[in-house]
Structure 1
Amino acid sequence: MTWTGHFHAYGPWIGSPDSYHREGDRRPPHPDPPEPPASDEDKTAIRILQRYREVAAEFPASNLPPMMSGYWLLKRKQASHERTWTDTTAPLDWMTKHFLDNPPMERDDGQQAYASLETKREYALEVLPVGVDVSWVYYNRSGSIVSLNVVCCPNRHHPDLTCPLARPAVTRRAFEAQDRPSPQGSVPRQTRTRRGRWAGRGRAWGRPARGP
């Protein structure tokens, strides 16, 4: 299984279990809006339309983790050049730092509550290069839920979602077009290596290289 792209990190989100368990707030609006109310007396239709408008306005801007990790790409305001990379080392180091800053809860019986950090890192290093998102979600020692996410872009499960840092007109086809030879005399914005990674490994995506 092969994949070529970059990684966006989201979080850390630290919040109450009640907020995290409100799944309706963690789902994007349906692509087809509800039918408008037939009359002012249709209270059910009015309530459904109001709720739809609330979700359509709140979901893209909210930092509440979505139900599916790939839907982070819909939250454009939550993406950042500083948290976008082309290699797996930087996002994994980012996750590790915040994991250590917000350690998980400890069980009363002394047993391990979650998989070890070493196990988490090994799994991430195995799956990120092939385009599989990684999410670390757990209770911390104060009882809050911590959510750390690294999302692959383009996304395997949501291939039609555009990069949140790309121009609005840029779609997945634009990523595919980057593999094509550039017209003679033109200079591509970014250059791929033979392994399919962006040149300048480890550099934040979309940022120019510094001069000597």
Structure 2
Amino acid sequence: MHLHCYRWTGRGADRARESERRPPHPAFPASPLPPMRTCDWLLKPRTRIDASPATVAEAVAWLTRRYRSAAESFLHPDGEARIGLDLRLHLAEEHLAGGVDVQWGIWLRGGDFITAAVICCSPNRHAPHPCPAAS
């Protein structure tokens, strides 16, 4: 198993365009929107891969950077503080080590939304998708 990281930031309302967030919709591959199923990130073009960390620790560091880069814009910083980055990271490390994908989605001020995902690849527990980096 190896890992691929994906991210998206955009208008939260755009996520309502669910049809283009589901394969096999013709717009799915080119759509910048995050897929409805986390594992379906692997069906996006390899150019959408933001990073391919060699270890779970590197993937967790990537998640940390994504979270911290958006923290000043969180719509509900008090709610995020109750969850806490440490708990998020602990759970992410535990899940990824067990082969389970991790995706965080957080509302930002101004109606924006950020998604950061680390996907387990070859194999993925939820779908037999091929590795996008191999094509």
Equivalent residues, number: 131
The equivalent position to 1:16 in structure 2, one of 2, 11, 26, is 11
Residue 161 of structure 1, CA deviation = 0.9
Report the TM-score when normalising by structure 2: 0.87
Residue 76 of structure 1, CA deviation = 2.1
The equivalent position to 2:62 in structure 1, one of 94, 98, 101, is 94
Greater length-normalized contact order (CA 8 Å, ≥ 6 residues apart): 2
The equivalent position to 2:93 in structure 1, one of 113, 125, 128, is 125
> Greater strand share, 1 or 2?
2
The equivalent position to 1:105 in structure 2, one of 75, 90, 94, is 75
The equivalent position to 1:145 in structure 2, one of 109, 113, 117, is 113
Cα RMSD, aligned residues only: 1.7
Superposed CA deviations along residues 17-47 of structure 1, whole A, max 9, x for unmatched, are 2211221121111xxxxxxxxxxxxxxxxxx
SS for the counterpart of 2:119 is strand
Can you give the 5+ residue segments of structure 2 that lack an aligned partner in the other structure?
A: none
Q: Is this contact kept in 2: 1:26–1:67, CA < 8 A?
A: yes
Distance 1:122 1:60, change over 3 A: same
> Greater helix share, 1 or 2?
2
Residue 79 of structure 1, CA deviation = 4.1
Residue 92 of structure 1, CA deviation = 1.2
Percent identical pairs in the alignment equals: 35
Superposed CA deviations along residues 104-145 of structure 1, whole A, max 9, x for unmatched, are 2236xxx42462111100000111011100001010133311
SS for the counterpart of 2:79 is coil
Report the TM-score when normalising by structure 1: 0.57
Can you give the 5+ residue segments of structure 1 that lack an aligned partner in the other structure?
A: 30-54, 168-212
